[in-house]
Amino acid sequence: MSCQTGIKTAVENYVTGKPYLKFNGKNFIEVLTSPKEKVNPTNYYRVAEGVANTLNKAINSDLNLGKVFYVKTYSDGVGIEIAPTVKQLNLLNAQEAKEIEEALAALDEEVAPESRLNLENDTTFAVNAEGDSEILLQTEEIPASKASSQTVAFAKDLLNRIGVDLKSVKQITVDGVKMDANGVADMTQKLVQVVEGKEDVALTEEVMHFAVEIIKQKDPQLFNMLLKEINNYKIYGEVLATYGKNKQYQTADDVSLIY
C-alpha cells in the first residue's frame, strides 16, 4: 500500500537535507551511511528508531492516529517501513466533522486510544557517545557457574521473543579485533555471540544485558530499586574490579557503565 499524501509530504520534508535517508516515494525509508560516516552500519538500527519515533510523533500532532512508521531490518540493512492501516488512512482522509468522528470510532475499535499514544518503536538498546554499538563482553577473569539446559533454553527463548539474534562462533571478534572472551552482547545490532562450547557459562550473562536494558526503559522504578540493591552483593564488587577500567564499559568521559 502506498502511503497517503499527508504522510508522504511529512516524510519528504523530513528527509530533505539528510543524505543518510533515502525515501522510495512510496512506503520505505532506507538508512544509508552518511558522508562523514557518523551514520554507519554499526548504528543504523538506532538511527532508524529515532527517525520512526520522530515521524510518528509528527503525524500524531493533530490526531491520535497511532504508529504508522516501523523499524524494519532486511538482508542488506535497516530502514523505516510506512504501514498505515486502512482505518488510519480513512481517518487521515476524512474531511467533514461527521466523517472524522466515524473514522475515529472505527479506529478505536481496531486499537484503543490509550494504546495509540505509545508512539515509541520497541526498546532502543544502548550506544556509546560516538554512536557506536555498546559491546559487552564476558571474559574468563571471573569464574562463571554453568547454567542448566533448561536455563539455556529459557535464555534462547527470551532472545527470540525480543528479536535478538544468537550466533555460535569459534572466537569473539569486535571490529576486526579478536577478543579473549566467551561471549559478547552487541546492543545496537541486537546480536549475541557465544564461543562454541561456552554456551552454558556465557549465554545467560549476555542475555541479561538485554534484560537489564529493557527493565531500565520499560520500568525505571524497578530498575532504580535494583540499582540501589546491587551494592549489597559481593559479586558486584568482583565485577566492578574486573570490568571497571575496561574501555568497553565506559563513556567518553571515563564514566563506568557497570550497574
**Mind listing the pLDDT tens digit for each residue in 114-140?**
666 665 555 555 444 334 455 666 655
Alpha-carbon torsion (231, 232, 237, 240), positive or negative: negative
Residue 103 pLDDT: 78
Residue 203 pLDDT: 92
Q: Which are the contacts of 63, defined by CB distance < 8 A and separation ≥ 6?
A: 91, 92, 104
Rounded percentage of the chain residues whose pLDDT exceeds 70: 76
17 vs 91, residue with greater confidence: 17
> Please, what is the average pLDDT of the chain?
77
Residue 24 pLDDT: 92
Residue 129 pLDDT: 38
Residue 254 confidence (pLDDT) above 50: no
Please give the helix or strand (H or E) that residue 241 lies within, else none.
helix 234-243
CA torsion 102-108-114-120 (nearest 10°) is -100
Cα(255)–Cα(259) distance, rounded to whole angstroms?
Answer: 12
86 vs 112, residue with greater confidence: 86
**Which amino acid, residue 117?**
L
The DSSP code for 250 is B
Cα(253)–Cα(15) distance, rounded to whole angstroms?
Answer: 32
72 vs 5, residue with greater confidence: 72
Cα(89)–Cα(87) distance, rounded to whole angstroms?
Answer: 5
Cell numbers of 145, please? 557457574
**Which amino acid, residue 191?**
L
Alpha-carbon torsion (46, 51, 54, 57), positive or negative: negative
Residue 196 pLDDT: 92
Rg (CA), the chain: 22
Rounded percentage of the chain residues whose pLDDT exceeds 90: 13
252 vs 204, residue with greater confidence: 204
175 vs 83, residue with greater confidence: 83
Residue 207 confidence (pLDDT) above 70: yes
Q: What is the pLDDT of residues 36-68, one digit of tens each?
A: 888 888 788 888 888 888 888 888 877 778 888
